[in-house]
C-alpha cells in the first residue's frame, strides 16, 4: 500500500530576540549559544525519519539550525520560507504594539508596512504546492509565525487559524495525511521540544 509522506517542520533555535520576545522578521540574527545547543539536540530526534528533501529559510537562524541538526550539506534554501515581514513592528515587543493597537492580532491584522496574513499564506501555499509534488518525507526549517501559517494552510484553513498553533524554539511539528489520503491532511505532532531542558 502507498504511504503518503510526512512534512517535518522545525523552528529555529533561540536568538537574543526570542529571549527578549521581540518580533524578529527579516532581521538576520544568529543563534545564541543556547540556541546552538538546541539545534544540536534536534539531530538525534530527526534521525528517526528519512528525508528525501530538506528546505530552509534564507535567514541565518534557520540555516544555522538546519546545519547544526545535520542537514546543511543536503539542504536547499527556499525564499518562500522566510519569516513574516513585520514592517513597522520589527524588533518590537507585543506590549509595545498593544499600547497603540489594543486589539491587535497578527494572524488577523498583519503589520503596517509589512505583510498581511494573506501575503504570508501565498508564500506558504507556494511551499506546500512544491512539497506535495515530492515523493517522500520532507523537512522544513523556518520561523514561528511563518510555520504557524504553514500549518493552517496545510489543513486548508484560513491563515488566521495560525494563531492556534504555538511553537517554541527548536520545536518539531509533523504534518501528514490520515488514511493515506491526500484529501485528509492532519497534524501528527505539534511543538515537540528538544529533551535538553530548553
pLDDT single digits (tens) 78-91: 999 999 999 999 99
Catalytic one of 14, 36, 83, 115: 83
The verdict on residue 2 lying in a domain is no
Spatial distance between the Cα atoms of 152 and 120, rounded to a whole number of angstroms: 11
In a domain, 48, yes or no: yes
Does some domain include residue 106? yes
Residue 33 among the catalytic residues: no
Distance (Å, rounded) from C-alpha 129 to C-alpha 72? 23
Number of domains in the chain: 1
C-alpha cell at 125: 501555499
CB-CB contact of 45 with 170 (8 Å): no
83 is catalytic: yes
Q: Tell me, yes or no, whether 99 lies in a domain.
A: yes
pTM to 2 decimals? 0.95
- Asked if residue 13 belongs to a domain, the reply is yes
- Does any domain span residue 197? no
pLDDT digits (tens, 9 = 90+) for 165-193: 999 999 999 999 999 888 999 999 999 98
CATH number for the domain harbouring residue 50? 3.40.50.1240
Q: Which domain holds residue 70?
A: 7-192
Active-site residue (options: 12, 14, 23, 90)? 12
Residue 89 within any structural domain of the chain = yes
- Name the pLDDT band for 197 (thresholds 50, 70, 90): very low
Amino acid at each position: 500500500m502507498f504511504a503518503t509522506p510526512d512534512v517535518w517542520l522545525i523552528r529555529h533555535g533561540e536568538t537574543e530576540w526570542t529571549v527578549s520576545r521581540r518580533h524578529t522578521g527579516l532581521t538576520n540574527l544568529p543563534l545564541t549559544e543556547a540556541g546552538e545547543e538546541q539545534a544540536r539536540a534536534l539531530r538525534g530526534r530527526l534521525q528517526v525519519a528519512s528525508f528525501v528533501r530538506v528546505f530552509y529559510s534564507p535567514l541565518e537562524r534557520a540555516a544555522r539550525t538546519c546545519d547544526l541538526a545535520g542537514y546543511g550539506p543536503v539542504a536547499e534554501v527556499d525564499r518562500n520560507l522566510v519569516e513574516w515581514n513585520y514592517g513597522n513592528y520589527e524588533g518590537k515587543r507585543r506590549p509595545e504594539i498593544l499600547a497603540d493597537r489594543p486589539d491587535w492580532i497578527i494572524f488577523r491584522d498583519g503589520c503596517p508596512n509589512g505583510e498581511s496574513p494573506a501575503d504570508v499564506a501565498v508564500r506558504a501555499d507556494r511551499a506546500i504546492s512544491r512539497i506535495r509534488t515530492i515523493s517522500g518525507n520532507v523537512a522544513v526549517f523556518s520561523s514561528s509565525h511563518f510555520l504557524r501559517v504553514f500549518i493552517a494552510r496545510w489543513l486548508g484553513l484560513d491563515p488566521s487559524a495560525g494563531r492556534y498553533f504555538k511553537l517554541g524554539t527548536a520545536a518539531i511539528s509533523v504534518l501528514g495525511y490520515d488514511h493515506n489520503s491526500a484529501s485528509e491532511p492532519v497534524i501528527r505532532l505539534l511543538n515537540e521540544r528538544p529533551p535538553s531542558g530548553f
